[in-house]
Structure 1
Amino acid sequence: MRPRDEHKELLIRQKAIEMIVKEGLDGFGVNKLAKAAGVSPATIYIYHKDKEDLITNLCIGVAEKMMAFSLRNFSPDMDFAAGLKVQWHNRLHYFLENPLDMEFIEIMRYTNFYEKVSQMVTANFGSVLRQFMRNAEEKQQLVPLPFEVYWSVAYAPLYQLIKFHTEGNSYVNSSFVLDDQLLEKALQLVIKALKP
């Protein structure tokens, strides 16, 4: 058995993500990936037992990277407004710095491969955010809500603004740019909506 080569493994992962974003899952295959990465199909099987294992590992890897990034300088003990601000800024910067990862996760979110990611996110990331919510509720900084309602109000506006920014347009503005001032205004509206 050949030894693992981190550079090849990273190249395989990157090419796989690029291919899935560009061509979708229907256009994705191990032989095609091997050719794009400049390796033999056997090399791919050093790292992954099959195509499904590769795709699942890609999903988990991207999600773990995204979660770690979004938790930078964040603690569930933070005051609600400060903690949400850190989350918004971290998420925005991750999206802007890793657009291919974000497109990949959006594609995968609606497949059966995302099930393991969802379980991992719920177990790891969800527990941190639920603790943040409970702490904010105890401090009377957040109206008590089901987690799903909280998530929708707290983060959907950010994701929509990022989408407008990355696509370069909105419904009425063909050159929308999300700057710090607009981000802060939107964040303050969300905080206001979630306060008791």
Structure 2
Amino acid sequence: MAELTKSQIKRNALVKATIELVNNSGFHAAPMSKIAKMANVSPATIYLYFENKQDLVNQVYIEVKAAFTAYAFATFDETMDVAEGFELIWKRIADFKLKECEEAMFLAQCDNTPIIDEPSRMEGIKHLQPLLDLWARGKAEGSIKPLDDYILYAYAINPLSFLMITQKRGSFQLTEEHLEEAFQSAWSSIKK
């Protein structure tokens, strides 16, 4: 693997600082000066990579969403049966959310608040296309309820964010058994 350049290291530090500050303080309490200080770069350096704070958060969102979906779909095959494909994707999403908690929390913040602009949000949705295509196939075959994709996502995928946050707070410890129960609940909510 190629070694990172100084420029890539600085940009990565800015991305990491943005994720951490947004997660811990929220978008409005994460000024560019604080992001720069946390990333150990000068505030002017941020503007070499990003136009402004909105551009920074939008780009970080798209990068994290791309990494999340690359992980979620890495072992998915479009020829899989709908139920099998959904289980594989759902469990990979759960795995990502539990292993990459900071990135997953950042995505949850972005998906549940108006901090991301609409073009970036739409770009993020494009990364979910394999799941949306699977659902379309399931609806056509009659194995998935003919509901809007947003409703399917709200019932089948979004609860994972709640479980991840409760685990991070220490309120609840997800076991393999809990994850299997959560998956069965998710599948039951969307299957016809």
Q: Deviations over 1:28-67 (max 9, x none)?
A: 2222222222222222221112222212211211111112
Q: What is the total number of aligned residue pairs between the two structures?
A: 187
Residue 47 (structure 1) aligned to one of 25, 43, 49 = 49
Residue pair 1:9, 1:47 contacting (<8 A) in 2 also: yes
| Structure 1 unaligned regions, length at least 5 | 170-175
Residue pair 1:75, 1:132 contacting (<8 A) in 2 also: no
Q: What SS does the aligned partner of 1:5 have?
A: helix
Q: Which residue of 2 aligns with 1:179?
A: 175
In 1, distance between residues paired with 2:119 and 2:166?
29
Normalising by the residue count of structure 2, what TM-score does the alignment of the two structures yield? 0.82
In 2, distance between residues paired with 1:134 and 1:46?
42
In 1, distance between residues paired with 2:159 and 2:27?
29
1:71 is aligned to 2:67: no
AA at the equivalent of 2:184: Q
Deviation at 1:7, TM superposition (A): 0.9
Residue pair 2:105, 2:165 contacting (<8 A) in 1 also: no
AA at the equivalent of 2:153: W
Deviation at 1:10, TM superposition (A): 0.6
Pairs within 5 Å for 1:97-136: 97-109=99-111, 110-125=113-128, 127-136=129-138
Residue 16 (structure 1) aligned to one of 9, 15, 18 = 18
Q: What SS does the aligned partner of 2:15 have?
A: helix
CA separation of 1:61 and 1:167: change in aligned 2, threshold 3 A: same
CA separation of 1:112 and 1:17: change in aligned 2, threshold 3 A: closer
CA separation of 1:8 and 1:181: change in aligned 2, threshold 3 A: same
Deviation at 1:116, TM superposition (A): 2.8
Deviation at 1:129, TM superposition (A): 2.1
Superposed CA RMSD in Å reads: 2.4
1:6 is aligned to 2:17: no
In 1, distance between residues paired with 2:86 and 2:138?
11
Residue pair 1:70, 1:94 contacting (<8 A) in 2 also: yes
- Greater CA radius of gyration, 1 or 2? 1
Residue pair 2:105, 2:161 contacting (<8 A) in 1 also: no
Q: Which residue of 2 aligns with 1:167?
A: 169
CA separation of 1:28 and 1:75: change in aligned 2, threshold 3 A: same
| Structure 2 unaligned regions, length at least 5 | none
